Chain A
Amino acid sequence: MSDQKTERLINLTLALLSTKRFLTKSEIFKNVAGYSGSAETMERMFERDKDDLRNLGIRIEVRALDPLFEDDQGYLIDSNTFQINPEDFSKEEILLLTMAANLWHQSALKHDSNAALLKIQSLDGSVATNTVASPVVEDSEDSKKLLFIVDAIERLITLEFEYKGVIRQVKPYGIYTRKGFWYLAAEEKDVVKSFKLIRIGERIKSTSKSNAFTKPSNFKLSSFKESLNAPTISTAEIKIRKNQALALRRRYEAEELDSEWDKLSIDYSFEEDLIETLLWYGSNVVVISPKSIRDQIINLVNGLINV
């Protein structure tokens, strides 16, 4: 039974894909293998088959064939939407596609990654995946959430999720990374805000159909991102012990201070970031100026003593 249905679905797809003109239902019933029984039975079979194929993402085009009889519709599958044209991609591009899809094959997106790889490998069998030892993403974040959001951004679907204990209704505009974390730029109550992906609740859902809103034409993700950084650069003077803090020495020019210490000038935008970086080197790095940072470091470190 199931074999028969599978066979009929394949034959229907092939018939609709190979035809140059729209096929009517009666042509389908007459010519496509697998349709039999009363007119009503065949009708029901066809409706179900059509739904099944559509649910799998196969687009069936429908057109009224006779303007006077709207019931008389024709059906067809456009090969340009159903299939990938191998000529659209060079061998080199297929290799890059393989690497791009392969990046995710150990992540929460592995299902989509594998499905995409399979199709890419069907474009050109000579580009074998095992020849591509490309990097992979090992995400601790839930990539499914990422995928869901990117899809909503592309199709202009509104979202609802919990963030910092509050249910938010947003229009998603774009997604970006900063210091290793993903962020969603989205409009909430007429203000564009940033939401850290990892803090967005698990029960995220779409609350509209496609094209539910238009993104303001003056919104640019790149300028939005820049506006968040607001870099005012200050300089700190620090001394570092000889042969220590090598990563800092690679980035900044050291100047000899005495037999034990060298001196560096470091540019920074945020005090907290600088303090975090300098504390990493323990007692091998000492801030000379500004005094505010010296005081903060002493204060913070005292919090670790006699606990």
Chain B
Amino acid sequence: MSDTAAVRALRTMDLIPYILEHPGISINHLSKVFNASEKEIEKDLQLAFMCGLPGYTPYELIDLTYEEGVVSIIDPQVLNKPRNFSSSERVVIALGLEILRELNLANADNLKKIDNLSKKFQDTKGEDLLIMVDQNLSFPFLNIINQAIFETRVLTFDYQSVSKDILSSRKVVPHKLYLQNGYLYLSGYDLQAQSDRIFKADQILNCVIGEKSDAQKFDQVKDEEIVEITVDPENLNFIERNSSIIIEQEMSQGQLLVKLRVSNFDWLKRAILSNAPSIKVVSPRSLALEVEQMASNIVSAYSDQS
């Protein structure tokens, strides 16, 4: 796909301040950052070399050195600063800062810095905020987990598994922290289970950073199974919350017939109980029977009580 002259002009003008801050950067690296081929970047730079301020003497042209695949800027002329953020970029940053704010609620120092910065990005038009992120995202281990991810170090923590309802001690090589549907999760390689696991951040306790992990890559087999359920269309929340594991859904006889890819059966069984009676298992049959047994146990627990 060829870019229009205008898009190319913009990329060329963005290249200059970027290279200025990254002297000696390789063309290969630039092509990745700017999402263009190495050839395109080279052509952009050749073009930049011809451009400058009226007069166009050597002193007025953009000057750069380009040798053996690496490039540095000698004179950027007026392109010494990056182009301003577009309105959508500003929104992305403002939203991001709101989330960072939530994550750092426990850290008064960071909070103040984030608030000051947010003011530069939220066009508040008065006192009221336009965006309010209200999760209990506050997470005391944010910094050490970030550090562990960057330095590939092992984390040791106690984990309160919500789906298994047990507290256990874990040793994990963290991959990443991510937010999904408003909750913060940590994904990582569980050294005891020898497989990738996902942890809900608010159930992590006593987290400490440990030694560097020497393991390069971990092979893992994901035990996933396809489960078929019906969901009462009134219960859209379940569908909306779990859209990432839904493979197929269709309406059939007033019910939503949904196919899920499930690896955590403890979670699914509890979710079905929680949403009773709007979710029913169609297949596998064994799962349907297990859920029914759990439901019967609840009923008998209540009859014992009375």
Contact = CB atoms under 8 A, between A and B. Distances in A.
Judge: A and B partners, yes or no. Answer: yes
Interface of A: 2-3, 5-7, 9-11, 13-15, 17-18, 31-33, 52-53, 55-57, 79, 81-86, 88-89, 92-93, 96-97, 99-104, 106, 109, 112-116, 118-125, 130-141, 146-147, 150-151, 153-155, 173-181, 198-199, 215, 217, 219-222, 225, 239, 244-247, 250, 276-277, 279-284, 286, 288, 294, 297-298, 300-307
A9 B132 contact: no
Contacts, number: 331
Given A6-B47, A96-B97, A147-B92, A199 B301 contact: no
B92 A113 contact: yes
Contacts of A277: 274
A282 B294 contact: yes
B280 interface: yes
A304 B276 contact: yes
Interface stretch (B181-189, B219-227, B257-265): B181-189
19 contacts: A2-B5, A93-B117, A96-B113, A101-B89, A103-B99, A116-B93, A118-B14, A174-B131, A176-B131, A181-B181, A219-B128, A221-B129, A225-B132, A246-B160, A246-B166, A279-B275, A283-B301, A286-B305, A306-B292
Contacts of B184: 135
Interface in B110-154: 113-114, 116-117, 120, 123, 125-126, 128-135, 142, 146-147, 149-150
Q: Indicate the size class of the contact surface on chain B.
A: 35 or more
Interface of B: 2, 4-10, 12-14, 17-18, 20-23, 33-35, 43, 47-48, 50-56, 77-79, 81-89, 91-97, 99-100, 103, 113-114, 116-117, 120, 123, 125-126, 128-135, 142, 146-147, 149-150, 160, 162, 165-167, 176-184, 203, 236, 240-241, 243-244, 270-277, 280, 288, 291-292, 294-302, 305
Interface of B (DSSP majority class): helix
B244 A140 contact: yes
Closest 8 CB pairs of A and B: A303-B277, A180-B182, A100-B96, A125-B21, A122-B82, A133-B149, A135-B177, A283-B297
Given A14-B51, A181-B182, A154 B273 contact: no
A115 B87 CA distance: 12
Contacts of A306: 292
Nearest to A9: B9
A276 B275 contact: yes
B299 A301 contact: yes
Nearest to A55: B6
A135 B176 contact: yes
A88 B119 CA distance: 12
Contacts of A286: 301-302, 305
Contacts of A281: 165, 270
Given A93-B117, A181-B182, A282-B297, A100 B272 contact: no
Given A135-B184, A154-B130, A199-B236, A6 B113 contact: no
A300 B276 contact: yes
Contacts of B167: 246
